[in-house]
Structure 1
Amino acid sequence: MQNQAATVVVLGTGGTIAGRSANASDNVGYTAGQVGVTQLLQAVPALAGAPLESEQVAQLDSKDMTHAVWRDLAARCAHHLARAEVSGVVVTHGTDTLEETAWFLQRVLAPAKPLVMTAAMRPATALQADGPQNLLDAVAVARHAGARGVVAVLDGRVHGARDVRKVHPYRIDAFDSGDAGAIAAIEEGRLRCFRPWPEGAALGLERVPADGSAWPVVEIVTSHAGARGAAVQALCDSGAHGLVVACTGNGTVHRELEAALVTAQERGVRVLRSTRTRAGRVIGVAGDALPSAEDLTPEKARVELMLSLLSRP
């Protein structure tokens, strides 16, 4: 059920959905973050006359997302979600780091209203741009009476912030939710729900420094054949506060890399193990030298570790 009278606020941050290409048949050689969020809305005839507001928070390619933009975006989301007349907020975003931004916003805000992220795999100038339909679907979710939490809406599916992940570099159906599955499908503007919406306690925006340079330094290293510990030592020497290791299989780590990570942990650097596979979780066993990030992808485990470090007294 939708509240058609309630206001939806659409916040723009750039990305492919706002990209332009000199050739309409070129879906890869474009420049992201060129079209303003107001223009994106105007390109969706079905949204004409709808109670919408728009605001440009940033205009960038999401591969270049920064902690400072995350903080600014979270603040603007919190501001609009607190307004009684607003049913939900939509954020247009690039696909490359959408899952990281989604998890950051869910952990910091855990909103009781829907905070809907959407994006596109093709630029706004494409012959068959996917952005307009994704944006229309995102607004429908933001108006849905039962929706809550941070979700991502792409290709007719609603994914929860914890589960959403990009699994293909080119196709329109580039996102899924791993083992958990999508929360809902959007069918002609109506939602068919499969499982509960995201919940959880908000860490609070006040814990997050406005200055991105004041955030703890957390990096990701990958375990692979022939992995060495030198990279871990170099990162620790450069001031890393935390490390996430993208492991093979069920959290296994090359012995040389693991030895370096254990040494780093003994010296006070926080370490988490994730899996470099795109589904499943790391199932811990007794005697594990390094803690598990459970079902969080390496990128989300990094966000989680940063927020954990920020929450330390």
Structure 2
Amino acid sequence: MIVILGTGGTIAGTAVDAADNVGYTAAQVGVAQLVRAVPPLAARRLETEQVAQLDSKDMDFATWQRLAQRVAAQLARPEVRGIVITHGTDTLEETAYFLQRVLAPSKPVVITAAMRPATALQSDGPQNLLDAVNVAGDVLARGVLVVFAGAIHTAEQVRKVHSYRVDAFASADGGQLGVVEEGRVRWWAQAMVNEALGLARLARPTADWPRVQIVLNHVGADGSIVRALLAQGVDGLIVAGTGNGSLSAALEQALREAQARGVRVLRSTRCDAGPVTASNEALPSAGALSPVKARIEMLLDLLLD
């Protein structure tokens, strides 16, 4: 059995004009209705559950907490082979990484989405959903995966790389694991399943979760944003540096001031691929994590404090 959990997004969106792929309202169609719109799924053994119904730009910690709990509960059922999650594209990569780090499931948890609403003349959602179910049912699938436009990605490396095209996601450094071709799954590599951090880490009420913000290095970056965040109260800072995590002298000085005041700091890069090299002289590196995923890593780490 495959369980499909709905959270909303463009895949569940509707527009007044079927030719309009931009002026739509996300999160209008229930997950059960999405499944009924894909005829080949009628022959599959499926269950559906609506966990949330929101535009993924509005994804929040409370929904993450609830989603992780529901995924864990469904995975614990012996008859469940895998899970598919329908999601919006804007924060999909963050949810994927969050679930992988918290649960690191041995069964597949496949996240999919769409760039066009359900009412579009050529909606990409039905095919993405069908592909996701096929991957979730594959004997070699495991861990949190993203299936989109026929490609299978790891949660660690997948990124949204285009604002409009239907092939909006890509992976860097070998993060694409395979493809789905006419219903057949072809693997190029297998995902590593790391140790689960566990749901206990999420027990704290989400209103009390640590405050971690992202700042950007750019021409003229002077550190004023860092100092403003310090004044407001912040527990951690991720800096998206240029190139190999390089920072302007003024921004680095402000970050070191924050570090001296007990704020956790990690240095990432605004580049689309490649790690940030660690050194004893520089601020701590986030490795190959993107800024948004480095934020999740720090958030989960701070939840232990």
Q: Name the TM-score, length of structure 2 as normaliser.
A: 0.98
Q: Shift of the alpha carbon at 1:187?
A: 1.0
Q: Does the CA contact (< 8 Å) of 1:150 and 1:198 recur in 2? A: no
Q: Shift of the alpha carbon at 1:209?
A: 3.1
Q: Does the CA contact (< 8 Å) of 2:217 and 2:242 recur in 1? A: yes
User: Which digits, 9 at most, give the CA deviation of each residue in 1:217-269, with x for residues without a partner?
Assistant: 00000010011211111112212100000111110011111100011011110
Q: 1:210 and 1:73 mapped to 2: Cα distance?
A: 15
Q: Shift of the alpha carbon at 1:210?
A: 5.4
Q: State the AA in 1 paired with 2:208.
A: A
Q: State the AA in 2 paired with 1:43.
A: A
Counterpart position of 1:211: 205
1:13 paired to 2:7: yes
Q: Name the TM-score, length of structure 1 as normaliser.
A: 0.96
Q: State the AA in 1 paired with 2:171.
A: S
Identify the match of residue 271 of structure 2 among 262, 266, 277.
277
Q: 2:207 and 2:174 mapped to 1: Cα distance?
A: 35
Q: 1:8 and 1:308 mapped to 2: Cα distance?
A: 32
Counterpart position of 1:99: 93
Identify the match of residue 302 of structure 1 among 291, 295, 300.
295
Q: State the AA in 1 paired with 2:194.
A: G
Q: Shift of the alpha carbon at 1:287?
A: 1.5
Q: Shift of the alpha carbon at 1:49?
A: 3.1
Counterpart position of 1:56: 50
Structure 1 residue runs of 4 or more that deviate by more than 2 Å after TM superposition:
none
User: Which digits, 9 at most, give the CA deviation of each residue in 1:101-145, with x for residues without a partner?
Assistant: 000000000001000000000000000000000000000111011
User: Which digits, 9 at most, give the CA deviation of each residue in 1:28-85, with x for residues without a partner?
Assistant: 1111000000000000000013110000000000000000000000000000001000
Counterpart position of 2:193: 199
Q: Figure out how many residues of one structure are paired with residues of the other and give that number.
A: 305
RMSD of aligned alpha carbons: 0.9
Q: 1:67 and 1:239 mapped to 2: Cα distance?
A: 18
Counterpart position of 1:115: 109
Identify the match of residue 154 of structure 1 among 130, 145, 148.
148
Q: Shift of the alpha carbon at 1:284?
A: 2.1
Identify the match of residue 172 of structure 2 among 178, 183, 194.
178
Counterpart position of 2:235: 241
Identical amino acids, percent of aligned pairs: 60
Q: Shift of the alpha carbon at 1:285?
A: 3.0
1:250 paired to 2:281: no
Q: 1:63 and 1:228 mapped to 2: Cα distance?
A: 28
Identify the match of residue 184 of structure 2 among 175, 190, 193.
190
Identify the match of residue 41 of structure 1 among 35, 50, 68.
35
Runs of 5+ in structure 2 lacking a partner? none
Alignment of 1:23-38 (within 5 A): 23-38=17-32
